[in-house]
A and B are shown apart, each in its own frame.
Chain A
C-alpha cells in the first residue's frame, strides 16, 4: 500500500504483540518524522539486545553476560531464592523492594494437560543449585492458578526432604479493593493466611 520500506516496517511492527495494523502504521509514520539519529538509536537498541542478551547460567533470567546483574550482586542474600515462572516476574518482585535474595526462573508451570511436566521445567537445574549453593529457603512465586499451585506443591514435595524451607507467596485481598467483591476462594485463602496484629 505504501512505498516498499515503509510498508515493510509497518508489516514488521504489526507482528508485535498487542500492535494492530493501525498502530503499526502510526508508529512507522512517527519514525519517519523523527530525527534520523533517534530512529537509528531504536534500531541499534533492538540489534544490540538480540546480539548481547542471553540467559543467566545460574538463574535463567535475561543477562547481558554469563550471569545477570542480580546474580552478580554480592550484596544480595544468597540463602533465599525466589522461584518464578518467567523472567518478567522478576521485575514485578523487584519493584516491591521487599526482596533481597536471588531468583530461579522455571520457564513455566506444571500443566500435565498441556504436556508440561517437571522435565520441561528447570527443576533439575534448581536441584543442582540447592545441592551446590547455600540455599536455605525457596519462595515459590508462581501464579495463584491451579497450575501455579501444583508447581508449588511439587517443589515442596521434592525440595523439603533436602532440608530446604519452602514457602509460597500469600494469596489474599488486593490493596484498595472492596471486601464484598472478593470471590470465595480468594477470601478463603485470605482467612487461612490471616496475620496476628
Chain B
C-alpha cells in the first residue's frame, strides 16, 4: 500500500493527509478552537487543532468528542496539524448515556494517552482501545472489564506482569506475594522488596482476566474484583510513573 493511503506523515510530500483515529481528549485553545488529542493506528498519538469547534454553528465540533472513532482530513502545520474534515466511523453512542461507562471509557483513554507515543505506529494499542470502547458500548461495564483492559494494556506496552510463575525464579507454586517493581508475582523463597501479600486465588483471577476477550469475560469470584483492580492499577501506575486519576472516581 502506498505511504499516502496509509496516512504516513513524513513519507508523504503533500500537506493534506487522511487518517483514522479515536479521540482521547481535547482542551480549549484560543477563543473558539480546541486542541484535540487522538490515537491513530499509523501515527500513534496525534495533536491537532480543530478551528471554531466551540461555536454552536461549528460543522464538526460534535464529531470530535472524546471516545469517538473518526476519519480525518488533516492539513499539516508546523507544530500542530489542522483538522479540515471529520466523518464519524463509530460514535459509541450508547456508552455516553451511562455514567459508569463514561467513567470507564475516561479511564481507558487516560491510560492510552499515558502510553501512546507520537509518530509511532500503535496498531495494537488502537485496537485494544477500540475493543474496550465496544465492550462498554455493548453494556459490559464492570470493574473486571477495567482490570482486564489495564492488564492487556500492560502487555501491549511490554510490561505485562508475571501472574502464573515467579517473576524471579520461574516457580509455579507457592506464589504468595506481588511486587509492582519486581514485575509480578513471587514465590515465598524470592522475597521481593516492597511486595504485597496476596489473597488466595487472586493471581488465577488476574490471569483469567488477562487472557479473556473483553466482550466475553469469565464469571469470577466477585469478592476479589476490587483487589484485582487495585493490583492492576498500581502495577500500571508504577510502570508508567504517573497516577491514573479516572480510577479514583471508580474505586
Task: Tell me the A residues contacting B by CB distance below 8 Å.
Answer: 18, 111-115, 117, 144-146, 149-150, 153-154, 157, 174, 176-177, 181, 183-186, 188
Contact = CB atoms under 8 A, between A and B. Distances in A.
A112 B249 contact: yes
B59 A185 contact: no
B103 interface: yes
- List the 5 closest A-B pairs by CB distance, nearest first: A112-B249, A183-B62, A112-B246, A153-B99, A115-B245
B57 A154 contact: no
Contacts of B59: 181, 183
Contacts, number: 66
B93 interface: yes
B65 A153 contact: no
Interface string B40-83: 00000000000000001101111101111000000000000000
A55 to B, nearest CB: 23
B88 A113 contact: no
Contacts of B246: 112-113
Contacts of A184: 62-63, 88, 91
A150 B110 CA distance: 16
B96 A149 contact: yes
Given A112-B248, A113-B245, A145-B65, A183 B60 contact: yes
Interface of B: 25, 31, 56-57, 59-63, 65-68, 86, 88, 91, 93, 96-99, 102-103, 106-107, 109-110, 245-246, 248-249
A158 B106 CA distance: 20
Given A114-B245, A117-B248, A146 B31 contact: no
Nearest to A114: B245
Given A112-B248, A115-B245, A188-B93, A174 B88 contact: no
A176 B97 CA distance: 28
B245 A112 contact: yes
A7 to B, nearest CB: 26
A33 to B, nearest CB: 28
A174 B55 CA distance: 10
Most-contacted residue by chain B among A18, A150, A176 (CB, 10 A):
A150
A192 to B, nearest CB: 10
Given A113-B245, A114-B245, A183-B62, A154 B93 contact: no
A112 B107 contact: yes
A165 to B, nearest CB: 19
A50 B96 CA distance: 41
A147 to B, nearest CB: 9
Contact of B99 (A145, A157, A174, A185): A157
Nearest to B66: A146
Nearest to B111: A113
A18 B31 contact: yes
Contacts of B63: 183-185
A43 to B, nearest CB: 26
9 contacts: A112-B106, A114-B245, A150-B102, A153-B97, A176-B57, A181-B59, A183-B62, A184-B63, A185-B65
Given A111-B106, A153-B97, A183-B63, 19 more contacts: A112-B103, A112-B106, A115-B245, A144-B62, A145-B65, A146-B66, A146-B96, A146-B106, A149-B102, A153-B99, A174-B57, A177-B57, A183-B59, A183-B86, A184-B88, A184-B91, A185-B88, A185-B91, A186-B62
